[in-house]
């Protein structure tokens, strides 16, 4: 390992590059059964990397593609080293990895190691009896007795994040098992050395198959308190999950060691990475789990409203929590949250929502850290409108007033490739409907329009490739004297004089023009606009100040 991780690590692909999340069910359906598949992804790699029409990004992360009974759409894994037949075969997977690598795209898999499906052979064996080799692979406990009303008491007060108790009674074993999510997703017992060894085998298997990294699903729940102590109560908001302090059902002292073992194994092969999905909204926790060579999502930007000041405050807070050496992973949308075009622009005219989506894209793709894009956001894709009652998403179907849940189907709709029937996504009936506006909001249509959201993403991504400061540079927030404008400079790390150049980014979140003061470009010459959402005078030189149009995003260089 390098002696100076803060600087050397900024040249690793997973820090300088951009990751694109694919939700495989909704990306491209090659065989017409209405469900996206690996062959479909392979057919559409040109959208992502390699050619002139590519976005381009540096890696794809596939949400789970393993065999699964789909109680949580793939996040309930029944075989960690196989491919669900609906997505294809291992041979299809190898072909996809090969085709991706040929285009310079890395492949990241989603590893769901906190729990398995209840249909996983490990769980089927575990529930079959108390004296087989798998008996302690899950978290089993006796009931401590019955309540006065005769109900079986649970081992402690832990809740499932998806509603109800975290404990499910199993008649066969005459015991409870623990599940942080659905009862169909029993939690593995990470205190068993056999479980830890099996997990390491899974990681090794995929590394040997050529994958470049892993997203670690809810990694900070792997370990639970050894004595299974009840969580202390607290005054919460709506939803019983928030009525406890989650002291004992996650973030246990044994976790860092287990995490280090996984990371060491991943690091044993050059160029591999992990990104941890933090199961919590805490910046401080995200900072604590980051290692110089790895990433952790922190969800700061997911919960912000459309406000330059809110983003500014969040960036300041995160810089303080992360310090100069921890590299952030930036994300605005994923398969669990409402799409950000809808979040930032819900109810506004189409043009305004698209304009905000472009400003958001400029932010995501120029801010210090690794950007994670969510398929469809490059079109400005909105949420689907699907009432909870018609939802396929299990927690939404289980939702009650005490366990509210939003409908994740809304963010999981198919991407449209063309205006054709089925949106070029499928010849059959899509598993979730296409967006109502797919005839105009699709890849082919937007590619033909220089003013589209897609064209803007392409220009941003290409510029990012050309300007090293936008990839690995430090970031200095500017005091610009305008509440609606977020502006910063990206440049070589302090004390370094490499050939990174410098970039000025100015984002007007507001609906009125705004004039801002800007610092001198490090070159001593003026800043030159490289990209703007608006027309700017040719050969414009920016010195001292610049006036931004309403909802203008401007990226200039000057180093
Ligand atoms: C986090 C995943 O992002 C989410 O989609 C899933 O439901 C839970 N983990 C449970 O696996
Ligand atoms: Ca299919």
**Angle in degrees, 0-180, between the axes of helices 453-466 and 350-366, rounded to the nearest 10:** 10
Question: pLDDT tens across 244-270, in order?
Answer: 999 999 999 999 999 999 999 999 999
Per-residue pLDDT at 366: 98
Ligand 1 pocket test target in 26, 112, 184 with most atoms within 8 Å of CB: 112
Per-residue pLDDT at 522: 86
261: left (phi over 0), alpha (psi -120 to 50) or beta: alpha
Q: Is the pTM of this model over 0.85?
A: yes
In degrees, rounded to 5, the angle at the alpha carbon of residue 179 between the alpha carbons of residues 126 and 124 is 20
Per-residue pLDDT at 2: 37
Q: Which of 319-323, 361-365, 392-396 has the lowest mean pLDDT?
A: 392-396
pLDDT exceeds 70 at position 4: no
Question: pLDDT tens across 41-88, in order?
Answer: 999 999 999 988 899 999 999 999 999 999 999 999 999 999 999 999
Per-residue pLDDT at 3: 39
Look at 148 and 493; give whichever has higher pLDDT.
148
List the beta bridge partners of residue 165.
159
Per-residue pLDDT at 8: 40
Question: pLDDT tens across 426-470, in order?
Answer: 999 999 999 999 999 999 999 999 999 999 999 999 999 999 999
Residue nearest to atom 8 of ligand 1 (CA): 75
pLDDT exceeds 70 at position 7: no
Distance, CA of 391 to CA of 265 (rounded, Å): 39
Helix, strand or coil, per DSSP, at residue 491? strand
Question: pLDDT tens across 135-172, in order?
Answer: 999 999 999 999 999 999 999 999 999 999 999 999 99
Q: Compute the average pLDDT of residues 82-98.
A: 98
pLDDT exceeds 90 at position 493: no
Per-residue pLDDT at 292: 77
Q: How far is the CA of 543 from the centre of ligand 2 (A)?
A: 54
Query: What is the average pLDDT score of the chain?
Result: 94
Question: pLDDT tens across 468-477, in order?
Answer: 999 999 999 9
Distance, CA of 51 to CA of 49 (rounded, Å): 6
Q: Give the whole-number percent of the chain exceeding pLDDT 90.
A: 88
Residue pair 473/502 in contact by the 8 Å Cβ criterion: yes
Q: Which atom of ligand 1 is least distant from the CA of 112?
A: 11
Per-residue pLDDT at 102: 97
Q: How far is the CA of 278 from the centre of ligand 1 (A)?
A: 11
Give residue ranges with CB within 6 A of ligand 1. Answer: 72, 75, 112, 181, 217-218, 277, 335-336
494: how many CB neighbours lie within 10 A of its CB?
Answer: 8
Q: Which of 91-105, 363-377, 490-504 has the lowest mean pLDDT?
A: 490-504
Q: How far is the CA of 38 from the centre of ligand 2 (A)?
A: 8
Q: Compute the average pLDDT of residues 178-182.
A: 97
Q: Which atom of ligand 1 is least distant from the CA of 181?
A: 10
Ligand closest to the CA atom of residue 299: 1
Catalytic residues: 217, 277
Per-residue pLDDT at 484: 98
Residue pair 246/234 in contact by the 8 Å Cβ criterion: no
Q: Which atom of ligand 1 is least distant from the CA of 180?
A: 10
pLDDT exceeds 70 at position 1: no
Per-residue pLDDT at 211: 98
Q: How far is the CA of 429 from the centre of ligand 2 (A)?
A: 10
Give 69-123 as a DSSP string: --TTTTSS-S-TTS--TTT--HHHHHHHHHHHHHTT-EEEEEE--SB--TTSHHH
Residue nearest to atom 2 of ligand 1 (CA): 217
Q: Which atom of ligand 1 is least distant from the CA of 279?
A: 1
Ligand 1 pocket test target in 66, 217, 395 with most atoms within 8 Å of CB: 217
Please list, in sequence order, all residues whose beta carbon lies within 8 angstroms of the beta carbon of residue 482, skipping any fewer than 6 positions away.
508, 510, 514, 515, 516
Helix, strand or coil, per DSSP, at residue 263? helix
pLDDT exceeds 50 at position 208: yes
Per-residue pLDDT at 9: 45
In degrees, rounded to 5, the angle at the alpha carbon of residue 80 between the alpha carbons of residues 75 and 81 is 140
Cis peptide before 52 (omega within 30 of 0): no
Please list, in sequence order, all residues whose beta carbon lies within 8 angstroms of the beta carbon of residue 27, skipping any fewer than 6 positions away.
36, 40, 41, 44, 375, 414, 415, 425
Ligand 1 pocket test target in 71, 76, 336, 412 with most atoms within 8 Å of CB: 336
Radius of gyration, alpha carbons of the chain: 24
Residue pair 160/395 in contact by the 8 Å Cβ criterion: no
């Amino acid at each position: 390992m390098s002696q100076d991780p803060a600087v050397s690590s900024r040249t690793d692909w997973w820090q300088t590059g951009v990751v694109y999340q694919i939700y495989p069910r909704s990306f491209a359906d090659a065989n017409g059964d209405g469900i996206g598949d690996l062959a479909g992804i392979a057919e559409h790699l040109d959208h992502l990397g390699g050619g002139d029409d590519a976005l381009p990004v540096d890696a794809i992360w596939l949400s789970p593609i393993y065999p699964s009974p789909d109680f949580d759409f793939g996040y309930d894994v029944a075989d960690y080293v196989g491919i669900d037949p609906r997505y294809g075969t291992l041979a299809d997977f190898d072909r996809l990895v090969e085709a991706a690598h040929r285009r310079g795209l890395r492949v990241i898999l989603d590893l769901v190691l906190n729990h398995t499906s209840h249909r996983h052979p490990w769980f089927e064996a575990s529930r079959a009896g108390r004296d087989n080799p798998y008996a302690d692979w899950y978290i089993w406990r006796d009931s401590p007795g019955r309540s006065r009303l005769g109900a079986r008491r649970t081992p402690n007060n832990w809740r499932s994040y998806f509603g109800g108790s975290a404990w499910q009674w199993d008649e066969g074993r005459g015991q409870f098992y623990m599940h942080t999510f659905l009862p169909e997703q029993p939690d593995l017992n990470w205190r068993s050395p056999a479980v830890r060894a099996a997990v390491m085998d899974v990681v090794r298997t995929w590394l040997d198959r050529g994958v470049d990294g892993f997203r670690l699903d809810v990694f900070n729940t792997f370990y639970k308190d050894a004595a299974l102590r009840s969580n202390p109560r607290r005054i919460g908001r709506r939803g019983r999950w928030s009525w406890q302090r989650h002291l004992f059902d996650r973030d246990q002292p044994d976790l860092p060691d287990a995490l280090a073992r996984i990371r060491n194994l991943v690091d044993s092969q050059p160029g591999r990475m992990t990104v941890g999905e933090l199961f919590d909204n805490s910046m401080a926790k995200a900072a604590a789990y980051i290692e110089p060579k790895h990433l952790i999502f922190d969800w700061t930007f997911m919960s912000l409203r459309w406000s330059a000041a809110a983003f500014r405050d969040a960036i300041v807070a995160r810089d303080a929590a992360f310090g100069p050496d921890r590299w952030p992973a930036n994300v605005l949308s994923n398969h669990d949250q409402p799409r950000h075009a809808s979040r930032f622009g819900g109810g506004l005219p189409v043009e305004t929502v698209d304009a905000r989506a472009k400003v958001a894209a400029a932010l995501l793709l120029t801010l210090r850290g690794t950007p994670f894009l969510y398929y469809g956001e490059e079109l400005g894709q909105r949420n689907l409108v699907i009432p909870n009652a018609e939802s396929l998403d299990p927690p939404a179907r289980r939702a009650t007033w005490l366990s509210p849940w939003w409908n994740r189907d809304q963010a999981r709709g198919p991407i449209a490739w063309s205006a054709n029937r089925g949106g070029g996504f499928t010849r059959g009936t899509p598993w979730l409907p296409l967006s109502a506006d797919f005839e105009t909001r699709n890849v082919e249509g937007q590619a033909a329009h220089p003013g589209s959201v897609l064209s803007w993403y392409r220009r941003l991504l290409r510029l990012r490739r050309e300007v090293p400061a936008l990839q690995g540079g430090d970031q200095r927030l500017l005091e610009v004297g305008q509440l609606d404008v977020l502006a910063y400079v990206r440049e070589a790390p302090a004390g370094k004089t490499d050939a990174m150049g410098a970039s000025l980014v100015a984002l007007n979140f507001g609906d009125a023009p705004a004039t801002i003061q800007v610092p001198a470009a490090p070159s001593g010459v003026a800043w030159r606009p490289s990209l703007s959402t608006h027309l700017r005078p040719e050969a414009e030189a920016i010195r001292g100040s610049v006036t931004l149009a309403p909802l203008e995003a401007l990226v200039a260089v000057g180093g």
